[in-house]
Chain A
Amino acid sequence: MSEQQTPAPSDAPPGEPQQAAQVERERRAELRIAGAFLLTALAATILAVVYWRGGHPQWEGALLAMALAGLGYGFVSFAHHLLPGGEVEQERSPLGGDEEAQEGIVDDIERSAPFGRRKLLTRSLGLGAVALAAAFSFPIRSLGPGPGKQLERTPWRKGIKVVDHNGKAVHADDVPVGALLTVFPEGHTDAADAQTVLVRVEEGQAKPRPGREAWSPEGLLAFSKICTHAGCPVGLYQAETHQLLCPCHQSAFDVLKEAEPVFGPAARALPQLPLEIGPDGLLRASGDFEEPVGPTYWNIGK
């Protein structure tokens, strides 16, 4: 920006010394703004060079910030100092026309009332409603198809081997009392819905309901690792109190009582995986979870 382009001082004619001071202020503002824009140019150039020479995220970030700050400062200062400020008043012209014109308008309105126009309105309104309804139907189409039985099944099957996260089969003797192990069905170590916590308590300590006594051989208990509240991994285990904890919302489950929730927002027990120990000592599932794993939903079990 050069000296010639300096905007003229505001329209009101101030006194001579005041005008000179104003010109001087604007000249200094102009220099500052030009300096800010030059900083932008400089930072942007260095940024380009840094990027071209292989890049350095911290420096690139700092330079980009510097370039944008210079630009921002320039624009805002421009608005503050160089654009005409102050409040301007303009007299409004008198409202309303003469009497003849007013009567003419009333005539016009009365003439235009009949059906000719209203038909157009109703038709266009109908068209709009139909188009809107059609638009609303698209998200509904995206909701399907229903999940079917998918939510109630995991890869666990009768006889499938229990493996750790490395895919190594778990031997019953590998799991001492007080242990915590995350296990998967063999061949499905990437199946999110199949992740299971395996803990061992003293034999006879757990109190399974009738019909489930065989599910926990030698005090080995397996529960779905997915919290029944919001689906976080229930990865914390207090071995002395026999409680599994969810880190997200502090739900706690009592492993001695079939992982019934004892604290927190979870309202449903962690589904238990029936286990059996094969003749080779390896742990196997004796079936899939009987209840759906993961967060509880409204029509669960229907």
Chain B
Amino acid sequence: MAALAAPLLLAVVATPALVHHSSAEASARSQPVPSGRFLYLRDCGVCHGERGEGTPLGQRLTHIGPAEVDYTLSTGRMPVDEPGAERRRREPRYSRAERTAIVDFMRPFIAPTPDIPHVDVAAGDVAEGAELYLAQCAACHQWAGEGGALLGDIESPPLKDSTPVQIAEAIHSGPLNMPVFVLSDDEVNSIAAYVLYLRHPEDRGGVGLWHFGPLTEGAVAWLFGLGAVVMVCRWIGTRE
């Protein structure tokens, strides 16, 4: 319905806002990357202020570093559709080049650190990463990176789609409710390597059961294991 209505509305009513929006998207596709200043002022400045000073609609940005800006844009958590909307992971709005342009435009008025990190997954040690992950990350993101519920309506997101750079950015900058973790570059490389390993883990116990953890494993044990035991008991106790 909405998909049908939108072009119709555009064609018939052609409000200035919609025309502006669609022409901006068209220019982003066909022409060279628009300037970071243009993108920032068009999409961010309205809520966060011309130079990140914040407005009643959006928080101040001057205390956050390039890593958090890049993380928030590359995971699609910003820009949101309307002020105050929940920031959820979705398709990013900008290409990599556009993102870089926005971050470079913002550098003069935001904090210099943490900067966008360089991650070398190949240099990471998966075993060390596992130890660090279980000690530091698993409490919220679940042992297999599935994410989970925190307090109230707050959830820690799954790590299924996180890129190594996003993992490092999140560790260094602590976006949203996540705390900042003080870890060396080597340790971050290892954690990123382990998170990537978790996408296709070696399930030593057999079937992974979607990696939900003890609940599904317990359910399977009860249903199939105890079911089988009951059947065997019946067979033993039956007399002909």
Interface status of A237 (Cβ within 8 A of chain B): yes
What is the bound-complex CA distance between A235 and B135, given in angstroms?
A: 9
Which residue of the partner chain, among B151, B176, B180, contacts A245 with CB atoms under 8 Å?
A: B151
What is the bound-complex CA distance between A250 and B140, given in angstroms?
A: 12
Main SS of the interface on chain B?
Answer: loop
Interface status of A257 (Cβ within 8 A of chain B): no
Interface status of A188 (Cβ within 8 A of chain B): no
Interface status of B154 (Cβ within 8 A of chain A): yes
Which residue of the partner chain, among B176, B239, B240, contacts A240 with CB atoms under 8 Å?
A: B176
Please name all residues of chain A whose beta carbon is closer than 8 Å to the beta carbon of B235 when the two chains form the complex. Answer: 76
Contact B179 A180 (CB under 8 A): yes
What is the bound-complex CA distance between A233 and B174, given in angstroms?
A: 20
Q: Mark A215-236, 1 if CB is under 8 A from B, else 0.
A: 0000000000000000001011
Interface status of A241 (Cβ within 8 A of chain B): yes
Which residue of the partner chain, among B176, B177, B182, B236, contacts A179 with CB atoms under 8 Å?
A: B182
Interface status of A247 (Cβ within 8 A of chain B): yes
Please name all residues of chain A whose beta carbon is closer than 8 Å to the beta carbon of B140 when the two chains form the complex. Answer: 236
Contact B151 A263 (CB under 8 A): yes
Q: Which residue of chain B is the closest to A180 with respect to CB atoms?
A: B179
Interface status of A199 (Cβ within 8 A of chain B): yes
Interface status of B181 (Cβ within 8 A of chain A): yes
Interface status of B229 (Cβ within 8 A of chain A): no
Contact A175 B177 (CB under 8 A): no
A238-B151, A241-B151, A263-B151 known; A80 and B239 CB under 8 Å?
yes
What is the bound-complex CA distance between A178 and B173, given in angstroms?
A: 9
Which residue of the partner chain, among A164, A165, A179, contacts B179 with CB atoms under 8 Å?
A: A179
Q: Which residue of chain A is the closest to B239 with respect to CB atoms?
A: A85
A80-B240, A247-B139 known; A236 and B182 CB under 8 Å?
no
Q: Mark B167-180, 1 if CB is under 8 A from A, else 0.
A: 00000001011111
What is the bound-complex CA distance between A54 and B181, given in angstroms?
A: 44
Interface status of B24 (Cβ within 8 A of chain A): no
B window 10-55: CB within 8 A of A: none
Interface status of B220 (Cβ within 8 A of chain A): no
In this complex, the member of B135, B174, B180, B236 whose beta carbon has the largest number of chain A beta carbons within 10 angstroms is B180
Contact B151 A180 (CB under 8 A): no
Residues of B within 8 A of A (CB): 63, 135, 139-140, 150-151, 154, 174, 176-182, 235-236, 238-240
Complex A-B: 25 CB contacts under 8 Å: A76-B236, A80-B239, A80-B240, A81-B240, A85-B239, A85-B240, A165-B135, A174-B182, A175-B182, A176-B182, A177-B180, A178-B179, A178-B180, A179-B180, A179-B181, A179-B182, A180-B179, A180-B180, A233-B139, A235-B139, A236-B140, A238-B177, A239-B178, A241-B177, A252-B151
Residues of A within 8 A of B (CB): 76, 80-81, 85, 164-165, 174-182, 199, 233, 235-241, 243, 245, 247, 250, 252, 263
Q: 14 other contacts beyond A164-B182, A176-B180, with CB at 8 A cut-off? A: A76-B236, A80-B239, A80-B240, A179-B179, A182-B135, A233-B139, A236-B140, A236-B150, A239-B174, A240-B177, A241-B154, A245-B150, A250-B151, A263-B151
